[in-house]
Amino acid sequence: MAYTFDNLFAADPSNPTNVASNASILLYDPADPTKTPVTITDPTGSPIPNPVTVNKNGFGPAMQHATLDRLAWEGGGFSNFITSYEGMKNEAVSARTAAQEAAATAGADAAAVADAAIGTATDEATAAAAAAEAAAEAADASALAAANSAALVGAPADNAIATAINATGSATKTALSATYAPASGSANYAAAAAPKQAVAKYDWVTNYVREAFLPPNPDDMPTITYATQGQTTALTSPAVYRPAICGTGSQTRNWDGASDTNFRWASGSFYCGNGGNNDLALYGELKPGGAAQAASWPIMGTFVTQSTNSVVEFGFYTPVTTDTPMFRVNGKWVTEKNIIRTVTGNDYKLTLTFPTAKSRTITIVGSGTLGLLAVRVPTGQTISKPSGTIKRRVAIIGDSYVNGAGGGGSEGANNIESFAPRLAHLMGADDTLLAGIGGTGWVAGMDGATPNPFSTRTSFVSGRTPHAIVFYGSINDGSGAGSIQAAVESTLQSVASVPEVYVIGPAMSGYAGNAAAVKAGTLAKGRVYIDADDFIFGTGRIDNPKGDGNRDFYLMTDGAHPTFAAHKGLAEHAFRGIYTRNQ
């Protein structure tokens, strides 16, 4: 059968806002190292030139291939794969229909004939079912029905059943024809009986999210080692690069990072200690209103290594002995959670050792108390600040769902593991402001006598000229609407100049009144509302499952905060709401 592919979308897999505009796209067999163009047609069977040309938005034609259910594409500076989920689903549906027809109408005699003819093909059926399941979630139900039906006749292979039923002169077809006639005068039982099936729409979000968090390529995946004493080095006479305000002998406060010539720092506010050895490490300042929760801006620094580099060493001095970093290499996360330390204490170092020497763009990400001392590379080598300007700055304002709780290797997520940095990554951000503070809301504040609702952070955030702001929350505002709508409208008015503003309602069940008030205020200001009501539901938690909802997996033992699995799901849910709202 021919495999039909949806319209080609040629874009950067790690950032779909970067499209291969008006590019020539080559399609080839993923197993072909020579990348020879394959023969493709349009859905009617008419030939299509290969390479194909996509439009200014990166979209190309729908197409068919006679035998391949997956194609590789390359062009416009990007490469990826496309999969024919429709073709594989139809194949599964056809197999299911054939199996049902055999089980329902052939009777015991036909089953015996089919079993004798194809009884050795059981392993084929298992492999075929597994392949159908992997093709797409849309085909799961059909693949399961096919497997169950096949089991009624000794679990023979689906393709073998179809052949036994329809092949001219087969014993099975002869037995069927002696008693039954195909409907509609067809000579093919499966074709005559097959109902029309609704074709599931291609779920590009699930595919994109999966691709966005794939690890780096093998030659960009480092070996990570820890050692004590971050102010010393294991390298011989290395080149040492400190954050620009560190090691000067004096303290600097409220630094925005823009003056650094070696690193590009994510938007925030930073400081070093008070002179002497205390000024050696970089820390994040407290966010506006963040004192009660000790909520500081995370450290996110990016630099580029030379083509001869394969080793990078980092020195740290942190007041919090559980603090550890995460890394991105060429835009890909090395891990999805903090890298657990193998050494203890405040003063330590970490080394990334790569399989090959090449230039790489490396981002170090840590909490505000991480305390970055220096980046060291072998003698004679240099690092440099990435060139170009920021393309997409995304700010996320919220409560502890944004700032995290119970992370750093435990059941929850900290401020660099929560749904917020994941969502920003999915949105294509190359600069992120994580402006979450636990216990806060549209009305609520946790900073003692000084109120610190979301509005206390909008001035700082909008001053960094973000392209998009995402707000999350309202659980801390109580269980009734109260004055939430008015606070939402007032807060959104303060960011009226920001091009994109998205508001996510509370994700925990039991806050329908809050959600309604937040939605009303959002729509009144002409902004986009993302409904997350009942995203986390039920009565259990991970240490006390009840079997009545996803809280059994999505709620920490504290009964209040999401698990890391819930954070991953919430990021995808929010991204889907933002990018598919007009579909």
Q: Is the pLDDT of residue 38 over 80?
A: yes
Q: How confident is the model at residue 60 (pLDDT cuts 50, 70, 90)?
A: confident
Q: Is the pLDDT of residue 435 over 90?
A: yes
Nearest residue to 373 via CA among 227, 230, 229, 228? 230
- Whether residues 436 and 377 fall in one domain: no
Residue 127, pLDDT score: 45
- Whether residues 397 and 524 fall in one domain: yes
Residue 138, pLDDT score: 38
* CA 422 from centre of chain: 7
- Whether residues 227 and 344 fall in one domain: yes
Cα 243–283–404 angle (5° rounding)? 130
Token digits for 98?
């054939």
Q: What is the DSSP letter of 194?
A: P
Q: How far apart are CA 266 and CA 366, in angstroms?
A: 11
Exposed/middle/buried for residue 501 (C-beta within 10 Å: 0-12, 13-18, 19+): buried
Task: Phi first, then psi: give them for residue 271, nearest 5 degrees.
Answer: -155, 165
Q: Is the pLDDT of residue 118 over 80?
A: no
Q: How far apart are CA 460 and CA 452, in angstroms?
A: 13
- Whether residues 500 and 561 fall in one domain: yes
Nearest residue to 68 via CA among 147, 1, 138? 1
* Share above pLDDT 70 across residues of the chain, in percent, rounded to a whole number: 77
Residue 121, pLDDT score: 40
Please say whether the beta carbons of 195 and 142 come within 8 A: no
Distance from the first to the final alpha carbon of the chain: 30
Q: Is the pLDDT of residue 112 over 60?
A: no
Please say whether the beta carbons of 538 and 527 come within 8 A: no
**Least confident residue range of 96-100, 118-122, 206-210:** 118-122
- Whether residues 69 and 147 fall in one domain: no
Helix orientation angle between 455-463 and 484-493, rounded to the nearest 10 degrees: 20
- Tokens 């823009």, located at residue: 258
**Least confident residue range of 28-42, 142-156, 308-322:** 142-156
Residue 535, pLDDT score: 95
Residue 114, pLDDT score: 39
Q: Which residues pair with 332 in a beta bridge?
A: 329
Residue 206 lies in a domain: no
CATH number at residue 238: 2.60.120.260
Average confidence (pLDDT) over 534-539 = 94
Q: How far apart are CA 41 and CA 47, in angstroms?
A: 4
Residue 202 lies in a domain: no
Average confidence (pLDDT) over 44-69 = 88
Q: Is the pLDDT of residue 102 over 70?
A: no
Bigger pLDDT: 62 vs 409 = 62
Residue 324, pLDDT score: 87
- By three-state DSSP, how is residue 64 classified? strand
The count of domains in the chain is 4
Token digits for 425?
């990554």
Residue 56 lies in a domain: yes
Q: What is the pLDDT of residues 452-511, one digit of tens each?
A: 899 999 999 999 999 999 999 999 987 655 789 999 999 999 999 999 999 999 999 999
Please say whether the beta carbons of 515 and 521 come within 8 A: no
Q: Which of 27, 51, 83 is the C-terminal boundary of a domain?
A: 83
- Whether residues 144 and 260 fall in one domain: no
Token digits for 448?
């003692």
- Whether residues 314 and 242 fall in one domain: yes
- Tokens 């991970």, located at residue: 542
For the beta carbon of residue 226, count every other beta carbon within 10 angstroms.
16
Q: Is the pLDDT of residue 10 over 90?
A: no
Q: What is the pLDDT of residues 198-233, one digit of tens each?
A: 555 678 999 999 999 999 999 999 999 999 999 999
Q: Which of 64, 83, 102 is the C-terminal boundary of a domain?
A: 83
Average confidence (pLDDT) over 371-392 = 96
Token digits for 305?
């290594």
CATH number at residue 491: 3.40.50.1110
Q: Which of 83, 106, 137 is the C-terminal boundary of a domain?
A: 83
- Whether residues 422 and 566 fall in one domain: yes
Q: Is the pLDDT of residue 411 over 80?
A: yes
Pairing between β-strand 468-472 and β-strand 500-504 as defined by DSSP bridges: parallel
Residue 203 lies in a domain: no
Residue 499 lies in a domain: yes
- Whether residues 453 and 555 fall in one domain: yes
Q: How confident is the model at residue 448 (pLDDT cuts 50, 70, 90)?
A: low
Residue 400 lies in a domain: yes
Q: How many residues does the chain have?
A: 583
Please say whether the beta carbons of 418 and 401 come within 8 A: yes
Quote the mean pLDDT of the chain.
Answer: 83
Residue 98, pLDDT score: 57
**Least confident residue range of 35-49, 76-90, 243-257, 318-332:** 76-90
Q: How confident is the model at residue 100 (pLDDT cuts 50, 70, 90)?
A: low
Residue 479, pLDDT score: 63
Bigger pLDDT: 201 vs 109 = 201
Nearest residue to 366 via CA among 411, 400, 317, 423? 317
- Whether residues 256 and 153 fall in one domain: no
Residue 476 lies in a domain: yes
- Whether residues 345 and 455 fall in one domain: no
Residue span of the structural domain in which 486 resides: 393-579
Bigger pLDDT: 104 vs 63 = 63
- Tokens 């970055």, located at residue: 372
Q: What is the pLDDT of residues 265-304, one digit of tens each?
A: 999 999 998 877 678 999 999 999 998 888 999 999 999 9
- Whether residues 368 and 401 fall in one domain: no
* CA 282 from centre of chain: 29
Q: How far apart are CA 166 and CA 52, in angstroms?
A: 38
